[in-house]
């Protein structure tokens, strides 16, 4: 190129080079940092005397779900905790309990709660005795049962 | 002395020595290009688990709750016991707009509508299909149902939360990522268009909370939060649980940048 | 140009070049999207396309920017320079896909005109971390558009080479804007440090190669310091310093002059090709014509004019040879002026 443009080249270049270096320095320094926060409304009150009852894995008809059943003597309640949920997202998943082997949702099905991504939640079952029951994972907007666990009478802890 | 090779582009072939060099340089460049592409895509961090059922429509029947952000309340089957009787889904329309116009004058009414689901974790939204809302006028009563009775409210006290304001439509599934700097302009456009602004909060243990933003009087805050979208923000306010929905009530002017 | 010259025709070399460009683009996009869709099922198609074409265009821009400095240092790489503008247009098209998808995704279907939204939806121009980086990307895209649109030789001829070249030097402004677009955009999120390293590496390559080339050119640009005789002629070099059919380059009156040695004759022309201001002195005499090393433009050494039907002309310079030394008068003749080359006497030992 001609000399005049070469000179212009030599002037522009350091200006832009310095600009890039300055922006890199400040840009990375100013990157927003998100702090940890409390989560009111998400706390899960867990009884202190929870005893591990059994694994509920094979009972699920979907082999990607694994969960554990706990029992509290004081509260005389069962708690269900999910360990793994390696399947695709689904809308508004609700957990239901049938106090019979039925795998359908009916007027007598009892709502356990919402099923979320949070695997630390202990879902309190709305019954004190658990025999020949079904736990159903149900998508309300799709009106579709996603998975069912058939729980036979609990005799001994596994 | 061998004459130095000279390249003339419009001749059919380049001189032999130059041709050889260029062949190797080209192969090297193509390998570099492929390797760079591989490096770029394999360094991507994983994408969030959120879904937009674009083009798929489901039918819904429920009660419209217009304020402060349009929602539909869908009754849950069976015995709900201590849990709320209704699930709540936000309502939006096509594009960067909330569902306000579509549910005007339908507050408290029972409707049928069709729409596409948008969901993430336990949060759900419906993008209403145009002209799909139908409302049976014969079932109207004079009284709007008391929302407080069908969706009990619980005051969880005053808390200071730190997180990011997102637009719930993109974040819950329409875009991925639907948050952070790269999505900021879109989030501002969506919230300005009426999409409910939600405060996404993390506790550092991998748990995430979603808080619908309202002002102290329980009104919508869309236009007042635009300058704080998609950046780290601290909000001190009252946390209310309405059904399963968590709400953070505070004056937007009091939000502070972290 | 000799009869084989085709001014803007699509010749065999260009076809091979373009094929390689196509293979490169398919390779990059194919790998990116192939792996993306397979291993990131939660990713939306728009996001992957935006990232594939954005990063691809930026990688290509780095390659384009390296060609200049590298071919100054390694003339064997001049074939890469020959058709560089096709690389530039390809890069613009990839950037356009990135920009169009981004505008559609983030700015369309709202209450604002999408282009207006690019500039006003995020109004935090006074912040670094919250700066509306998309505005910078848009401006860079406009620069690349102007460059792509004027890349045809038609514009080169009408704007004249110096103005065209000055316009195309905006590529450096575009490059800077894109670097800042990435740093104030994607780099403000939680991206892998691999990207930081890659960008740092790319910027360093471009900067260092240009600085080295710049220093080399700077020393050449210093006015040739030598004797001046009574008639104003400047002593340039000895004949033995000029290889047959090649030239020695000197700087006279602020611009470079090429002194050619061919068929026992010496002639001096402006070093500046009228096409894109390429260095004629780094070229060769082919079929009796001074041939530019960049695109093969040709000029007669006797008068600096291109062979018919071409009309380009460069200035010639008055030359004399005294005792094996070449002397050139710094004042150029008007372009196309006939200046008889000096015949070298047959000197026997």
Cβ–Cβ of C183/A12 closer than 8 Å?
Answer: no
Judged by CB atoms within 8 Å, which residues 165-224 of B form the interface with A?
181, 201-205, 207-209
Residue of chain B nearest A119, judged by CA positions: B207
pLDDT digits (tens, 9 = 90+) for B105-135: 899 999 999 999 999 999 999 999 999 999 8
Instruction: Give the pTM.
Output: 0.92
3-state secondary structure of C81: helix
pLDDT of residue B140: 63
**Is the residue at B41 inside a domain?**
no
- Cα C171–C172–C177 angle (5° rounding)? 95
**Cross-chain residue pair A40–B161, CB shorter than 8 Å:** yes
CB-nearest to A120 from B161, B201, B207 is B207
Please give the Cα distance from C211 to C216 (Å, whole number).
9
Q: Tell me if B42 is assigned to some domain.
A: no
Q: What is the pLDDT of residue C2?
A: 47
In total, how many domains does chain B have? 3
On the question of a cis peptide bond just before residue B177, with omega within 30 degrees of 0, the verdict is: yes
Local structure of B147: helix, strand or coil: helix
Instruction: Find tokens 């000279």 and name the residue.
Output: B6
Q: What angle do CA A73, A77, A81 make, to 5 degrees?
A: 110
How far C162 CA sits from the closest chain A CA (Å)?
7
Which secondary-structure segment (H or E) carries B153? strand B153-167
Q: pLDDT by residue (tens digit) across A35-53?
A: 889 999 998 878 888 888 8
Shortest distance between the Cα of B142 and any Cα of chain C, in A, equals 36
The full set of domain ranges for chain C reads: 12-221, 234-343
C246 in Cβ contact with C260 (< 8 Å): yes
What value does the CA radius of gyration of chain B take, rounded to a whole number of Å?
Answer: 27
* CA–CA gap between residue C70 and residue C68 (Å, rounded): 6
Nearest residue on chain C to A16, alpha-carbon basis: C176
Angle (CA) B127-B132-B138 rounded to 5° is: 125
Regions in chain C scoring below 50 on pLDDT: 1-6, 347-349
- What was the pLDDT predicted at C214? 86
**Domain parsing of chain A, residue ranges:** 1-34, 50-151
Does the beta carbon of C4 lie under 8 angstroms from any beta carbon of chain B?
yes
Q: Which of A30, A31, A37, A82 to mutate to test the interface with B (most CBs of B within 10 A)?
A: A37
- Per CB-CB distance under 8 Å, the chain C contacts of B192 are 110-111
Give the pLDDT of residue A56: 83
Q: What is the dihedral of CA A96, A98, A102, A107, to 10 degrees?
A: -80
Residues 6 or more apart whose CB falls under 8 angstroms from that of C68 comprise C81, C210, C213
Please tell me the predicted confidence (pLDDT) of residue A57. Answer: 80
* Span A138-145, average pLDDT: 95
Flag if A36 and B162 touch (Cβ within 8 Å): yes
Query: What does pLDDT average to in each consecutive run of 10 residues of chain B (258 residues)?
Result: 75 87 95 97 93 96 95 96 95 97 92 96 96 80 71 94 97 95 97 98 91 97 97 97 96 95
Distance CA B147, CA B4 (A): 89
Does the CB of B6 have a partner CB in chain C at under 8 Å? Answer: yes
Among B116, B150, B184, the domain-final residue is B150
Helices B16-42 + C193-221 axis angle, to 10: 150
Is residue A88 very low, low, confident or very high in pLDDT (cuts 50, 70, 90)?
Answer: low
Q: Specify the higher pLDDT residue, B222 or A117.
A: B222
Shared domain check, B247 and B187: yes
The CATH code of the domain that includes B175 is: 2.40.50
Interface touch C217/A6, C-beta < 8 Å: yes
The reply to whether B145 and B224 lie within a common domain is no
In angstroms, the CA B120 to CA B52 distance is: 9
Model pLDDT, residue C254:
82
Contact B30 C55 (CB under 8 A): no
Chain A partners within 8 Å of B239 (Cβ): 40-41
Q: What is the largest CA-CA distance in chain B?
A: 106
Contact criterion met (CB below 8 Å) for A27 and C184: yes
Instruction: Render pLDDT for B1-41 as a digit per residue (tens, 0 to 9).
Output: 456 788 888 888 888 888 999 999 999 999 999 999 999 99
- DSSP 8-state assignment for residue C188: G
Contact C282, C272 (CB under 8 A): no
pLDDT above 90 coverage of chain B, percent: 82
Find out if CATH 3.40.50.1370 is the number for domain C234-343.
no
In this structure, the answer to whether residues B182 and B226 fall within a common structural domain is yes
Interface list for chain A against chain B, based on CB atoms closer than 8 Å: 32-42, 88-94, 96, 105-111, 113-118, 120, 126, 140-142
pLDDT of residue A157: 42
Q: State the nearest Cα–Cα gap between B56 and chain A, in angstroms.
A: 11
Residue A12 has pLDDT above 70, yes or no: yes
Q: Nearest 5°: phi and psi at B141?
A: -120, 170
Residue numbers of the domain that contains B170: 153-257
Determine the pLDDT at residue C186: 95
Amino acid A87: pLDDT = 61
**Distance, in angstroms, between A125 CA and closest chain B CA?**
11
Contacts of A9 in chain C (CB under 8 A): 169, 214
Output the CA–CA distances (angstroms, integers) from residue A115 to A104, A111, B178, B221, C115, in the order listed: 18, 11, 22, 29, 42
Q: Is residue C133 within 8 Å of residue C119, measured between CB atoms? A: no
Residue with tokens 């974790």: B121
- Can you read off the two tokens belonging to residue A52? 């591990």
CA distance C169 to chain A (A): 8
Is there a domain that residue B37 lies in? no
Identify the CATH number of the domain in which residue B64 sits: 2.40.50.140
């Amino acid at each position: 190129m001609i000399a005049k443009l070469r000179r212009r080249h030599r002037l522009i270049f350091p200006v832009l080079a310095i600009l890039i270096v300055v922006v890199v320095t400040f840009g990375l320094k100013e990157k927003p940092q998100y702090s940890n926060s409390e989560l009111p409304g998400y706390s899960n009150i867990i009884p202190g005397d929870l005893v591990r009852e059994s694994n509920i894995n094979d009972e699920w008809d979907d082999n990607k779900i694994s969960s554990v059943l706990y029992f509290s003597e004081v509260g005389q309640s069962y708690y269900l905790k999910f360990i793994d949920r390696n399947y695709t997202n689904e809308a508004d998943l609700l957990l239901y309990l049938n106090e019979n082997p039925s795998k359908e949702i009916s007027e007598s099905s009892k709502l356990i709660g919402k099923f979320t991504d949070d695997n630390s939640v202990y879902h309190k079952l709305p019954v004190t005795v658990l025999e020949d029951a079904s736990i159903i994972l149900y998508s309300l907007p799709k009106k579709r049962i996603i998975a069912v666990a058939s729980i036979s009478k609990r005799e001994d802890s596994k | 002395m061998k004459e130095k090779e000279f390249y003339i582009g419009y001749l059919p072939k380049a001189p032999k020595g130059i041709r050889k060099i260029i062949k190797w340089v080209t192969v090297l460049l193509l390998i570099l290009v492929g390797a760079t592409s591989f490096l770029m895509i394999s360094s991507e961090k994983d994408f969030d688990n959120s879904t937009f059922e674009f083009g798929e429509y489901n039918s819904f029947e429920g009660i419209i709750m217009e304020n402060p952000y349009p929602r539909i309340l869908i009754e849950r089957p069976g015995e709900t016991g201590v849990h709320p009787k209704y699930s709540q889904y936000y309502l939006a329309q096509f594009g960067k707009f909330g569902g306000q116009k579509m549910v005007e004058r339908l507050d408290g009414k029972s409707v049928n509508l069709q729409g596409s689901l948008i969901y993430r974790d336990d949060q759900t939204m419906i993008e209403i299909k145009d002209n799909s809302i139908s409302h049976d006028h014969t079932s109207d009563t004079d009284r709007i149902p008391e929302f407080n009775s069908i969706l009990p409210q619980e005051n969880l006290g005053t808390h200071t939360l730190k997180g990011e304001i997102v637009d719930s439509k993109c974040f819950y599934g329409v875009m991925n990522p639907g948050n952070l700097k790269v999505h900021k302009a879109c989030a501002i456009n969506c919230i300005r268009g009426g999409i409910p602004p939600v405060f996404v909060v993390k506790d550092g243990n991998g748990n995430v909370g979603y808080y619908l933003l309202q002002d102290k009087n329980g009104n919508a805050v869309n236009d007042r939060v635009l300058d704080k979208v998609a950046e780290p923000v601290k909000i001190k306010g009252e946390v209310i649980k309405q059904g399963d929905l968590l709400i953070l009530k505070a004056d937007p002017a009091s939000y502070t940048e972290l | 140009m000799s009869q084989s010259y085709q001014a803007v025709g699509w010749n065999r070399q260009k076809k091979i070049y373009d094929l390689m460009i196509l293979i490169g683009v398919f390779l990059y996009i194919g790998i990116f999207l192939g792996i993306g869709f397979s291993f990131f099922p939660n990713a939306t198609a728009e996001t992957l396309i935006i990232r594939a074409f954005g990063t691809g265009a930026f990688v290509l821009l780095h390659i384009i920017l390296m060609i200049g400095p590298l071919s100054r240092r390694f003339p064997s790489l001049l074939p890469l320079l020959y058709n560089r503008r096709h690389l530039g247009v390809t890069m613009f098209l990839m950037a356009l896909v990135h920009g169009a998808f981004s505008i559609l995704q983030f700015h369309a279907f709202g209450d604002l005109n999408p282009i207006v939204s690019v500039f006003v939806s995020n109004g935090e121009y006074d912040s670094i971390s919250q700066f509306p980086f998309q505005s910078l990307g848009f401006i860079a895209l406009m620069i690349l558009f102007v460059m792509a649109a004027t890349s045809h030789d038609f514009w080169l001829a009408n704007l004249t080479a110096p103005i065209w070249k000055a316009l195309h030097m905006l590529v450096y402004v575009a490059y800077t804007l894109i670097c800042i677009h990435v740093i104030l955009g994607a780099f403000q999120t939680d991206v892998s440090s691999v990207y930081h390293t890659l960008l740092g590496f790319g910027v360093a390559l471009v900067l260092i190669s240009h600085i080295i080339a710049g220093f080399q050119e700077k020393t050449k640009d210093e006015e040739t310091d030598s004797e001046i005789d009574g008639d104003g002629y400047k002593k340039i070099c000895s004949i033995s310093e000029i290889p047959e059919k090649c030239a020695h380059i000197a700087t006279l009156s602020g611009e470079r002059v090429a002194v050619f040695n061919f068929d026992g004759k010496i002639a001096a022309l402006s070093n500046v090709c009228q096409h894109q201001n390429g260095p004629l002195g780094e070229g060769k005499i082919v079929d009796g014509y001074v041939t530019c090393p960049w695109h093969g433009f040709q000029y007669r050494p006797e008068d600096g004019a291109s062979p018919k039907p071409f009309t380009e002309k460069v200035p010639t310079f008055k030359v004399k040879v005294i005792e094996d030394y070449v002397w050139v008068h710094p004042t150029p003749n008007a372009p196309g002026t006939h200046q008889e080359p000096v015949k070298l006497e047959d000197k026997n030992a």
